[in-house]
Structure 1
Amino acid sequence: MAKGLALTIGLNAVDPNHYGGWSGKLNACEADAEDMTAIARSREFICSPLLTKAATRAHVVDGIKKAAHDLKAGDIFMLSYSGHGGQVPDRSSDEPDGQDETWCLYDGQLIDDELYALFGQFAAGVRILVFSDSCHSGTVTKMAYFTGTTAARATADEGGQVRYRAMPVDAALRTYRANKAFYDGLQQGKTPKDSQPDPKASVLLISGCQDNQLSQDGAFNGLFTSQLLQVWKDSLFRGNYRTFHRNIVRRMPPDQTPNLFMVGAPDPAFLKQKPFTI
């Protein structure tokens, strides 16, 4: 019988001691993680939630490695992240814009190269389902606060500005310069992703926005997660992953378009399943 494991991550803040005094306050990321946990548990996944201070680099990496160790062909791993997206300079020469995208975990950033390498530890035939309600911009010029066409629908800070889940440029610079040896060291010895073998597992990502867009925070959930929950309708949804993604996109504004793509071993049957099927 197939097994399902889920690691659900949500950070409403980060440790300013690592991030150059920036605490990255957000409103609804823990709620996102709790709601994704509830969905996973309703589908009989074994869940490991990590909220804010518990969402450290070590805990996240260990959680992914444990899933890779425990799962075999036919099993599924769900990984969800709600929090800030960040950038560090690309030292493995695999990013056209010279920046590696990151997840801003509590005590440090997790680089996309690291995540890709971790997926490579999963056995062939494992399905990996990833949700990321965060900014995944491919350039450091993206701002933490962005005035777009959907301003009225996003959480506003005390100054009335819309709050987005992107690490501010000045905080990204301070964090990298204060921890340069650490972040450069994480990329040493890693070959560019385009010269690495793809993971043997099948990885399906549904992200909160496109690479050149920002993901909105919200009062109760992030905008992407709130629409995902509306489409899911407490398991009343009957379509497959493509339909699930398409229906979420239809509910989103034009300046935040969720993405769907796969890496690793092709698995057409995975895409045809009802979401969250073990």
Structure 2
Amino acid sequence: MPTTPGGGGKSHLFQYSKCTGKKKALCIGINYKGMPNELYGCINDARNVQRFLLRNGYKHDDIKMLTDDATDPRLRPTKTNILDAMHWLVSGAHAHDSLFFHYSGHGGQVKDTDGDEVDGFDEVIFPLDFKRSGYIVDDLMNTIMVQKLPPGCRLTALFDSCHSGSVLDLPYLYSSDGRAKGSQVTKRWVERKSTYADVISWSGCKDSQTSADTWEAGVATGAMSYAFINSLKQNPDQTYQELLRSVRAILKKKYSQKPQLSSSHRIDTNLKFIF
């Protein structure tokens, strides 16, 4: 696959997903109970997103939940289980399928070693057993969940974690007026990180920011998960740019974090957001 910028070789094969096929989802919520920097709203976030998806055409058996209060060891969000679940999510994907990935937990940054990051830092997420098994880096998530998808398959990712702006390594970033702006992926990597598939990422903050673990209506929640769900509950019929603006408006009242929208291919943000 070419790594030079501006090749344009993928443009004619890209197609938007109609989201009319199989629907599958992976929801991960990690509170790190009893550990330093314990969180409180992440398991609630995963369950809230699960309920939201069930109301929007996803079936219970097609939603995999990984939370650190799970009694089944296979459903605890360890590094191995998370990576296995990511492979499960994209396995057997076809055009016009709709896949949904949600992560609520700790995020961070480490030094970039392959030169694909404009700011010099890779973004990472922290499994429950990160002290023993380490973190999961954005390059690996992109390889597993983005690069393997066929044309016309949708993956919608929702990250409620610190430093998550480019955590899926998607090359196209959008401002609230809907226009594409400077990429977080370096020029020589843009073509490699682009795909024929229809991949969208909503993240809770810029790479340089943190995401709030907070309380809304007396319940522990991640600010981004709360804003995303509530915006679409109030108005299910929104374009990409309208949803980005509305989520930012909800959070701006109380938080400094600025949610980000990115994609694996240039999209028309005036189109209705579907999943």
So what's the TM-score if we normalise by structure 1?
0.69
Q: Partner of 1:122 in structure 2? A: 149
**Which of 63, 76, 98 is residue 120 of structure 2 equivalent to?**
98
Q: Partner of 1:35 in structure 2? A: 48
The Cα of 1:61 is off from its aligned counterpart by 1.7
Residue type matched to 1:6 in 2?
A
Query: Retained in 1: the 8 A contact 2:79–2:136?
Result: yes
Q: Partner of 1:149 in structure 2? A: none
Hey, what's the Cα distance between the residues in 2 that align with 1:12 and 1:204?
Answer: 25
1:177-229 per-residue CA deviation (whole Å, 9 max, x = no partner) reads: xxxxxxxxxxxxxxx84462523312111111122221100132112222223
Hey, what's the Cα distance between the residues in 1 that align with 2:22 and 2:270?
Answer: 18
Q: Partner of 1:261 in structure 2? A: 262
SS of the residue 1:67 aligns to: helix
Q: Report the RMSD for the aligned CA atoms in angstroms.
A: 2.5
The Cα of 1:132 is off from its aligned counterpart by 0.6
1:9 matches 2:10 = no
Query: Retained in 2: the 8 A contact 1:4–1:77?
Result: yes
Q: Partner of 1:183 in structure 2? A: none
Hey, what's the Cα distance between the residues in 1 that align with 2:24 and 2:164?
Answer: 28
Hey, what's the Cα distance between the residues in 2 that align with 1:231 and 1:65?
Answer: 30
Query: Retained in 2: the 8 A contact 1:29–1:222?
Result: yes
Q: Partner of 1:135 in structure 2? A: 162
Hey, what's the Cα distance between the residues in 2 that align with 1:271 and 1:24?
Answer: 40
The Cα of 1:49 is off from its aligned counterpart by 1.1
Unaligned runs of 5+ in 2: 1-19, 70-75, 166-187
The Cα of 1:77 is off from its aligned counterpart by 0.8
Residue type matched to 2:138 in 1?
D
Q: Partner of 2:87 in structure 1? A: 65
Hey, what's the Cα distance between the residues in 2 that align with 1:237 and 1:196?
Answer: 33
Question: Residues 240 and 197 from structure 1, CA distance in 2 versus in 1: closer, same or farther, beyond 3 angstroms?
Answer: closer
Residue type matched to 1:228 in 2?
F
The Cα of 1:136 is off from its aligned counterpart by 1.2
The Cα of 1:87 is off from its aligned counterpart by 2.1
**Which of 32, 50, 75 is residue 66 of structure 2 equivalent to?**
50
More displaced 10-residue stretch of structure 1: 94-103 or 108-117? 94-103
1:225 matches 2:228 = no
Query: Retained in 2: the 8 A contact 1:68–1:123?
Result: no
So what's the TM-score if we normalise by structure 2?
0.70
